[in-house]
Structure 1
Amino acid sequence: MASTDQNSASTNSDWKRPKRFDRNLIVIGAGSAGLVSAYIAAGAKAKVTLIEAHRMGGDCLNFGCVPSKALIKSARIAHQMRHAVRYGLEPVEPKVLFSSVMERVHNVIAEIEPHDSVERYTSLGVEVLQGYAKLIDPWTVEVALNNGGSQRLTTRAIIIATGAQPFVPPIPGIDEVGYLTSDTLWDRLRDRPSAPKRLVVLGGGPIGCELAQSFARLGSEVIQIEMAPRLMIREDEDAASLVEASLKFDGVQVLTNHKAVACGVEAGEKWIEVDHGGEKRRIAFDEIIAAVGRAPRLKGFGLEELGIKVDRVVETNEYLQTLHPNILAAGDVAGPYQFTHVAGHQAWFAAINALFGDLKRFKADYSVIPWATFTDPEVARVGLSEAEAKQKNIPHEVTRFGIDDLDRAIADGSARGFVKVLTVPGKDKILGATIVGEHAGDLLAEFVFAMKHGHGLGKILGTIHIYPTLAEANKMVAGQWRRDHINAFLLSLLERFQTWRRG
């Protein structure tokens, strides 16, 4: 989200405002932000229209969160079968029925699909139109319907929730070799009997790491190419190094500090050329996945014609309003985070401000934003990382507990990783937390709750945690903080008191 001056509705003065409106709200895009916005509007008894050109549920349901987690689960089972000796069982090389794995992915999507369906939202009171929307003026939207024809609607407010799409790097020859993305691979690879034999994954961020590990576990020979010095550059180095070690253990060849410079086909074989410190080499492959990030969908909606700035995202103010106060944006298209849960979070502010902004507006709150990468081990974080705190010169203390010392993790054979908490020096106020390990994304919720409501590590320490569970790691790190802050003088007095009590 980029900030802009939205101090007056006078920006609409060049346009003729309708005397009456067909709708209270039109929402463009039926991903997380759009669905939540429409849901809230319908709950507030507004007349709301939701417009989607492609699939209901957006990227998360159809191409991102849901299918990737289904794939990760199958890959994890294959990994456990290979390493069953850890649990006293005979290891076996799994026979990966790749087409069945992909069919399961699509079945999972289909099972969740009704939650986001046209039928459900219609039953909630939302009008759903399937087609392409374009803003004609600040209050008028024209819809080119998928089944033919068009429709024009006027509305008091509009929410732009058009999401994002994979960014494909402009590498010479990449179109020639026929790349895959996190959007296209689910359909393109659906009927293959086996995973691609030689797979190149471009990108060392969350999507790249999740896909690289999963395909390696399902039988692909994976080469992961990352231009940065290491994987997962947004996370602390100690967290990223554990993930990289796990990927390498699974057979992924990780090439950091390598820049992809060209692609091509020679004698029927696809290749990619990489540059490592001036030394170039070619790598042959069967399939390549571009997973270097996602770019907001900004074009074709008439935003530029209305003077709304669209650079990397739609420019909005702290209330998620654009240049025209009745046009708002939420989700990936607004930034600053590209997470499904943040899109849903923003949607509340966008919908309330769109419907009731004339009475009271609410600033979008980004004070406590969690996220997770679902590799094995998982990496989850909320608030400041240690690297960020150092870079920004924010005073902090670091308390760390190694999950390798946790009873449940030892029993489960998952004794690796850590919980790391940053606090205000001398106080238990939490500035940030990073968890690396089994179910890190689930375990993080306790720190998210504590930060959101102003609770410190003392409150976590004073909360009963079931034994033996992985969640005890949170209490353990809080206990470590307490031990590190024991008052030595008072401890000395306590020792003398106990000695006196013995007579």
Structure 2
Amino acid sequence: MKAYDLIVIGSGAGGLTATFTALGFGKKVLVVEKDRPGGECTWSGCVPSKALINLAKDVHIAKKFGAVAVDGADILRRVRAVSERIYEHETPEVLQNAGADYVNGAARFVSANTIEVGGQQYMGKRIMLATGSAPLVPNIPGLTDVDFLTNENIFEQTSLPPSLLVLGGGVISMELAQAMNRLGVKVTVVEMMPEVLGREEPEFAALVREKLASEGVRFALNTKAVRVERTADGIKLHTESDGKAAYLEAAQILVALGRSPNVKGMGLEEIGVQIKGGVVVNAYLETSVKGIFACGDVAGPYLLSHMANYQGKIAAMNAILPWPIRRKVDYQHVCWATFTDPELAHAGMTEAEARAKYGDRIRVYHYDFAKLDRAQTKEGDMGRIKLITDLKARVLGAHIIGERAGDLIAEVQVMKTLGLSFGKLQKVIHPYPSYADALRQLSQQVFLDNIMQHPVVKLFRKSK
């Protein structure tokens, strides 16, 4: 039986990071993958969705200058080609050349330190679970009787549907709804809640929805999916809203209602690994069974590729390095972006969350891109920033909607993670004209408030 310092089950974002981290410390690593390396990000998530979004944006811009014929089959082929290019850096050969052993197949635990793949057993001093997640399929009558789409198969289609129902109002829904609509697909989003993007600042979520609606996307909010029926022309979705029954029809239906961690079929519970939705881990990303660690979607709580990278590095080091230098995960500075047009970026708390924790001991700042020269150079450009700080101007939360919001939030993240007063950013020279200059301008406002709150200044003002 072959023995390894670390066995990594799964080779998505978390698994690949864990693998290369362990290899960097000179450890003997086995990677087990039942499909192809790259995981959801490469094949059905970040990479193909952003490729589709970019192509759809090109079409949208071109339509401003004349009629555009969209070749859906070609669009989808080009999207898949992007995934294949990314995959060139993640192939089994790449892993093996880096020093890892690679086995293709489904892993099952024989004991806490031994797995079986294809009839062959392998032993690991430590084992990393990085099996990711799969689309959550709700128990809606009739849904499994139709050929519904998810993010896992939508990019494998050979043509675009003429019309599409999208179940859910989350990130995947908004990104794909806008992209498909721009490519000529008639899209209707069905959401049970009164607003889309429930984790975002409500006014920013509304701006995204309004932008998509202005482009032609239809929204059925406060609407529950009751039953799915196949028709001669496609799909009929029976709904209920405010106690009233209705229905919506389209050629196809996309289910985008969240993710479900991949925990089944490996014998985890049989060896004592605690599962509650996903795999339960402690602050060191170790499961209830000593020596078995987990990272990424299978562990949660944030099902994001960059969080899988973050966890993968920490989990791998905790697995292979001595106990005294183990590190805990820290979720104080989680951020993400929704890549609609305009983009929506989120770091830290919403205003409601900050007020719930700190009461009135916060400051809230707003900035509109109408003040930004760079935004004025692009017709129809819009954007807003909402910044929430404590009384010392340290960032508690930030929300940006606008061009390149996903990049702008990174600068806020630096200030937030380092615990710096946002007012200090006004010292930093920013290129002009740039979108990042919006953050410098906002920091000037924070800087002035800091001065006005200084005890000497307050005393001086009071004495006048």
1:283-302 to structure 2, matched below 5 A, reads 283-302=248-267
* 1:270 partnered with 2:199: no
- Cα deviation for residue 265 of structure 1 reads 2.1
- Cα deviation for residue 393 of structure 1 reads 4.6
Match of 2:133 in 1: 164
Match of 1:186 in 2: 155
Match of 1:499 in 2: none
Q: What is the TM-score with the length of structure 1 in the denominator?
A: 0.88
- Cα deviation for residue 404 of structure 1 reads 2.0
Structure 1 segments unaligned to the other structure (5+ residues): 1-19, 84-90, 145-149, 495-503
* 1:479 partnered with 2:444: yes
- Cα deviation for residue 484 of structure 1 reads 4.0
- Cα deviation for residue 101 of structure 1 reads 0.8
Match of 2:351 in 1: 386
Cα 1:359–1:218 change in 2 (3 A) is same
Cα 1:155–1:244 change in 2 (3 A) is same
Amino acid at match of 1:308: V
Match of 1:57 in 2: 38
Amino acid at match of 1:121: L
8 Å CA contact 2:2–2:121 kept in 1: the answer is: no
- Cα deviation for residue 77 of structure 1 reads 1.2
What is the aligned counterpart of 1:76 among 38, 48, 57? 57
8 Å CA contact 2:125–2:291 kept in 1: the answer is: yes
In the alignment, the residues of structure 2 paired with residue 174 and residue 45 of structure 1 have an alpha-carbon distance, to the nearest angstrom, of 49
- Cα deviation for residue 417 of structure 1 reads 1.8
Q: What is the TM-score with the length of structure 2 in the denominator?
A: 0.95
Match of 1:466 in 2: 431
What is the aligned counterpart of 2:77 among 98, 103, 107? 103
8 Å CA contact 1:414–1:438 kept in 2: the answer is: no
CA RMSD of aligned residues (A): 1.9
Amino acid at match of 1:211: L
8 Å CA contact 1:21–1:156 kept in 2: the answer is: no
8 Å CA contact 2:235–2:253 kept in 1: the answer is: no
Amino acid at match of 1:31: G
- Structure 1 residue matching 2:120: 3-state secondary structure: strand
Cα 1:267–1:76 change in 2 (3 A) is closer
* 1:212 partnered with 2:177: yes
- Cα deviation for residue 359 of structure 1 reads 4.5
8 Å CA contact 2:363–2:393 kept in 1: the answer is: no
What CA deviation, in whole Å up to 9, does each residue of 1:295-344 have, x standing for no partner? 10010111110111112110111111111120001000001100101001
- Cα deviation for residue 415 of structure 1 reads 3.1
Cα 1:357–1:255 change in 2 (3 A) is farther
8 Å CA contact 1:242–1:377 kept in 2: the answer is: no
What is the aligned counterpart of 2:146 among 157, 164, 177? 177
In the alignment, the residues of structure 2 paired with residue 429 and residue 110 of structure 1 have an alpha-carbon distance, to the nearest angstrom, of 42
* Structure of greater Rg: 1
What CA deviation, in whole Å up to 9, does each residue of 1:26-47 have, x standing for no partner? 0000001100111011111111
- Structure 2 residue matching 1:295: 3-state secondary structure: strand
* 1:203 partnered with 2:160: no
8 Å CA contact 1:24–1:156 kept in 2: the answer is: yes
8 Å CA contact 1:419–1:433 kept in 2: the answer is: yes
Match of 1:87 in 2: none
In the alignment, the residues of structure 1 paired with residue 306 and residue 379 of structure 2 have an alpha-carbon distance, to the nearest angstrom, of 31
* 1:314 partnered with 2:295: no
What is the aligned counterpart of 1:443 among 398, 408, 417? 408
Q: Mean alpha-carbon deviation: is it higher for 262-271 or for 250-259? A: 262-271
8 Å CA contact 1:420–1:477 kept in 2: the answer is: no
Identical-residue share of aligned pairs (%): 38
